[in-house]
Amino acid sequence: MSGFNAKLYQSAQLRQEMRINPRLYQAMELLYMPLLDLEQHLKEQLAENPLLEMVEADEQKEVELKEDTADEPMSDDNVDWEEILLDGFEVGGRREQYEHKEFYEPTPVEAQDLHDHLHDQLRLLSISERELRLGEELIGDIDDAGMLACTTEEAVAGVNEWLDEVRPTVIAKAKQIADDRAREEELAEIEILFRPYEPIEAERMLKVIQGFDPAGVGARSVQESILIQLRQREEEDTLAYRIVEGYFDQLINRHLTEIAKALDVTPRDVQDAADSISHLDPKPGLKHSADPERYVIPDLIVEKIDGEYMVFANDTSLPRLRISQSYREVAQNHRQFTGENKEFISAKLNSANWMIQAIEQRRQTMLKVMNFIVDRQREFFERGVQYLKPLTLREVADHIEMHESTVSRVTNKKFVQTPRGVYSLKYFFSSGLATTSGEDISARGVKDKIKQLVGDEDSKKPLTDQAIVNKLEADGVKIARRTVAKYRDQLGILPARMRKRV
């Protein structure tokens, strides 16, 4: 039996394959970037490429004025860049004269979250170290909504597990004390501080935490949270308190007549009590959410001028990018450069030229996309959201003769300022529904119609989903009942029986 003989071979093959140029990846990233991200990216490019300059419009005017002044001190353009380039970019004289000042991005101050807020209140109390430790354990088990995410028994088990881990180390250190009497006192204190917690201690501490701000924090359910808020408002003797305490499930399901019969009051009284309860916060912790505020700067502006809608790029705050003329002149003198120096200058010059072209290409692409949107959605700008037409990325891509993925990148996280407000570019894209007139209507427009119908309904006889279907069909919109239910849920509108008032 012959053994397997492994050998290495070389062969030549001719084949075709497509590979994306690295610069194409960069161009796609530039399309994807919102205005603020692009501005930061350009600052990074400025730091990496010495052939690039970023000049504000006002600064450019100042530079032009200074060039016309005869008795002006030596400016950047008068520096001996040839010597600087050949000597490895080491600038002589006062270095700060030639260097760009370092840019510091403003750092947002992190807001105090719920747990920090509760810890601050806990430390203001005159309590023992043992109580403080248990309080910190319970606060750590409170979720972002302000609810206790575990039982008091589980919280006690967690803190006792920590005690079992640290107790031997603390006792060992105490036994090292030379003085016998001091050692006994230390061990006695450890015995008090590190004895296992009991559930009743956790219940007492939880009651303390439930008295903290915000009202209702530390509750184990929405029902308990609302009861805490009513107690803090000294409304324990009210009908609202009795309803939440004994008939919470019926209240949630809006069985107001059933509650009225059980409490021997009128349905109107129950309705008034339910209205007062609705003003309480079922998730009190969210008001101390640590999510940072997000500010929107529109990338595009739409203005109505002489009856026509015009589109402008909102890039006035974006520094203008250019190639340093001094570097360009030096780089063109090929006799001064050989080897690595020549390759470096050539690569940086090509990169700078490409970056300037890519930024302009991004700007033109965004304008093309927005101009088509304005032409297609003119009725929206004139009459409102109910006249928004269905639009897909494919339609825009076909019109501007670009790939659908390119349009997706252009519209991602981009905003436009219009006479009707600031909108995400994605807002103008939605599916369509057929109408009896033969024209399609945007799903977003249908949602707005549903919202308007519910807003105008009789609260004593709210519209059912089928009634909304009938009204929409009367307006020429063909829609299924399940679609109405889906849109209603997306709008946060309750079913008819939950909206009914007595």
Residues 196, 155 contacting (CB under 8 angstroms): no
Distance (Å, whole) CA 267 – CA 262? 11
- How far is C-alpha 499 from the geometric centre of its chain's CA atoms? 32
Q: What angle do CA 394, 397, 401 make, to 5 degrees?
A: 140
Phi/psi-derived region of residue 442, left when phi > 0, alpha when psi is between -120 and 50, beta in every other case = beta
With respect to residue 438, please indicate whether it lies within any of the assigned structural domains: yes
pLDDT at residue 224, as a whole number: 95
Please write the tens of the pLDDT for every residue from 73-91: 433 444 343 343 333 333 3
Last residue of a domain, one of 381, 404, 429: 429
CATH code of the domain covering residue 446: 1.10.10.60
The helix or strand, by DSSP H or E, that contains position 225, with its residue range, turns out to be: helix 222-232
Q: What angle do CA 85, 87, 90 make, to 5 degrees?
A: 85
Q: Is the same domain home to 162 and 275?
A: yes
pLDDT at residue 93, as a whole number: 38
Last residue of a domain, one of 429, 457, 473: 429
Q: Is the same domain home to 305 and 259?
A: no
Q: Is the same domain home to 411 and 458?
A: no
Q: Is the same domain home to 411 and 342?
A: yes
pLDDT at residue 25, as a whole number: 60
Q: Are strands 300-305 and 415-418 parallel, antiparallel or unpaired?
A: parallel
pLDDT at residue 455, as a whole number: 86
Q: Is the same domain home to 133 and 243?
A: yes
Please write the tens of the pLDDT for every residue from 84-130: 333 333 333 333 433 333 434 444 455 578 899 999 999 999 988 88
Q: Is the same domain home to 312 and 444?
A: no
pLDDT at residue 76, as a whole number: 40
Q: Is the same domain home to 303 and 281?
A: no
Q: Is the same domain home to 403 and 455?
A: no
What is the DSSP code string of 152-178?
Answer: HHHHHHHHHHHHHHHHHHHHHHHHT-S
In total, how many domains does the chain have? 3
With respect to residue 446, please indicate whether it lies within any of the assigned structural domains: yes
With respect to residue 13, please indicate whether it lies within any of the assigned structural domains: no
Q: Is the same domain home to 217 and 332?
A: no
pLDDT at residue 456, as a whole number: 85
Q: Is the same domain home to 425 and 435?
A: no
- In angstroms, the first-to-last Cα distance of the chain is 95
With respect to residue 152, please indicate whether it lies within any of the assigned structural domains: yes
Q: Is the same domain home to 454 and 477?
A: yes
Last residue of a domain, one of 237, 267, 288: 288
With respect to residue 37, please indicate whether it lies within any of the assigned structural domains: yes
With respect to residue 61, please indicate whether it lies within any of the assigned structural domains: no
Q: Is the same domain home to 309 and 395?
A: yes
Per DSSP, helices labelled H in 68-140 are 81-86, 114-123, 129-140
Distance (Å, whole) CA 337 – CA 341? 6
With respect to residue 410, please indicate whether it lies within any of the assigned structural domains: yes
pLDDT at residue 200, as a whole number: 93
pLDDT at residue 386, as a whole number: 80
With respect to residue 485, please indicate whether it lies within any of the assigned structural domains: yes
Residues 50, 327 contacting (CB under 8 angstroms): yes
Which residues are bridge partners to 435 per DSSP? 477
Low-confidence ranges of the chain (pLDDT < 70): 1-7, 9, 16-27, 54-111, 174, 178-180, 290-294, 317, 319, 326-342, 432, 434-440
- The whole domain housing 455 covers 431-502
Distances (CA, A) of 8 to 2, 5, 11, 15: 19, 10, 10, 21
Please write the tens of the pLDDT for every residue from 254-289: 888 899 999 999 999 999 999 899 899 999 998 887
